[in-house]
Amino acid sequence: MGPRSRVVVTGAAAFSCCGFGAEAFWRLLRDSTAVNGNVGGGILRRFTPLEIAPSNDPKVKSDHPLAARLLAAIEHDLGQFLKGLKPDEKESVGVVLGSAYGHLDSYLSYYQMGTEQGYQFVNPRHFPSTLPNFCTCEVNNAYSLWGSSTTVASGLTAGLEAIEYAAAAVERGEETAILAGGLDEINDYNQETLEAAGLRSPSGVVRPFAPDRDGTVPGEGLAVLLLQSEEGARRTGRRPLAEICGFASAHGIRWKDPSAPSRAAKTVRQALAAAALDSKDVDAVFLSASGSIEGDEFEFMLLREVFDKQLPSVLLCPIKAAIGECFAASGVLQSLGAVYAVGLAPEGPSSDIGLPFNGTELRLAQQLGRRSAALVYSSGYDGTFSALVVCRPSA
């Protein structure tokens, strides 16, 4: 077996309530509003994709709303790279996307139409969009990417798990480049689920670790990272923004379970060990905190277990304050934040504000300076947990 390739991030696409395009998301971090913004979650502005991403290519279109947004975002940020690939190169470029709800709206509207109005009113051509793999395949189709096409559906951490899956495929040399990301939309089903579980904020504001936090706010969005081998990045002339150094995931980690923080901490340590790092090497954490009462409590215990006495000096970036709970897209948007922190933020110190929580002063990022190693983790109310370590790329 040959040496495994280093996996680097060389591009990204995004669409969230922060705006269209990865740059819009990074701009929010630059302006320090994403990490402490107290924005009340986010529903994407309904739009005609062509308004945002004019394209003469009929393949880069979809009549499915979520797929259309995904394609528009990829076309905006990564279209030039993807279209510049030669046909043979496209045989080793794949797509891996994670989704918790898998555009369930399509399924439910098909079901509703068929059961309430009758089979003859159902558009046969809409059937493929009821399948969870639809959006992933739409990306493969739009750019003729014959590499892998994988849809991860493991719940709220599916986006981070997609990055994990994709990085492994690049590392072993199966793909030279891969689009890895997550997407989810607000639908009646997940709104009801949050409501029924008592997780939804009555005030409509996400306030991670605040003493008066009262729950989370559903959001929606999508984010995609372009992963390449280090050698592939060099060959295609793309600048590595960050390196994917380690990851790990676990399930069955219920916030209320007394053993949950220890099990999650073990998973974080596994990810750090894979990156050959120690918790002392981590200088930013893009955490999962969504303002839920029990979830933030769990995360505090997790952080204390991982960082111990070092915790008051660790820079915390709770971006769900700006984007809301975007389900499987959240972890990838957090990763996008980590890519900014290690690859794009200005050199220099970060500024922060202190927030006392359970007797510890937490440092919430205000202005991000360039970081060396960022930890990203996703902790779902469904018991899923994934951790990813993102490092400054070697010169």
Tell me which residue of 239, 224, 229 sits closest to 79, measured CA to CA: 224
Between 369 and 383, CB nearer to other proteins: 383
300: contact with other proteins by CB under 8 A? no
**In the window 114-133, what residues touch other proteins (CB under 8 A)?**
114-115, 118-120, 122, 124-125, 127-128, 130-133
**From CA 187, how far away is CA 18, in angstroms rounded?**
19
Query: How far out from the chain centre does Cα 6 lie?
Result: 21
Find the shortest distance in angstroms from Cβ 346 to other proteins: 36
273: contact with other proteins by CB under 8 A? no
Of 24, 43, 168, 344, the residue at the interface with other proteins (CB under 8 A) is 168
Integer distance in angstroms from the first to the last C-alpha of the chain? 26
Of 60, 71, 100, 362, the residue at the interface with other proteins (CB under 8 A) is 100
**From CA 211, how far away is CA 350, in angstroms rounded?**
24
297: contact with other proteins by CB under 8 A? no
Query: What does the block give as tokens for 128?
Result: 């493929």
**Which residues, 6 or more positions from 225, have their beta carbon under 8 angstroms from its beta carbon?**
9, 11, 12, 163, 166, 179, 180, 181, 332, 335, 336, 339
293: contact with other proteins by CB under 8 A? no
Of 110, 210, 281, 304, the residue at the interface with other proteins (CB under 8 A) is 110
Q: How many helices (H) and strands (E) does the chain have?
A: 12, 13
Find the shortest distance in angstroms from Cβ 308 to other proteins: 23
Tell me which residue of 151, 145, 138 sits closest to 180, measured CA to CA: 151
97 vs 50, 134, 175, 223, CA distance in Å? 23, 10, 15, 9
Between 27 and 269, CB nearer to other proteins: 269
210: contact with other proteins by CB under 8 A? no
Please give the residue ranges that form the binding site for other proteins (CB under 8 A).
1, 90-91, 94-95, 99-102, 104, 107-108, 110-111, 114-115, 118-120, 122, 124-125, 127-128, 130-134, 136-137, 140-141, 143-156, 158, 161, 165, 168, 172, 174, 188-189, 192-193, 195-197, 199, 249-252, 381-384
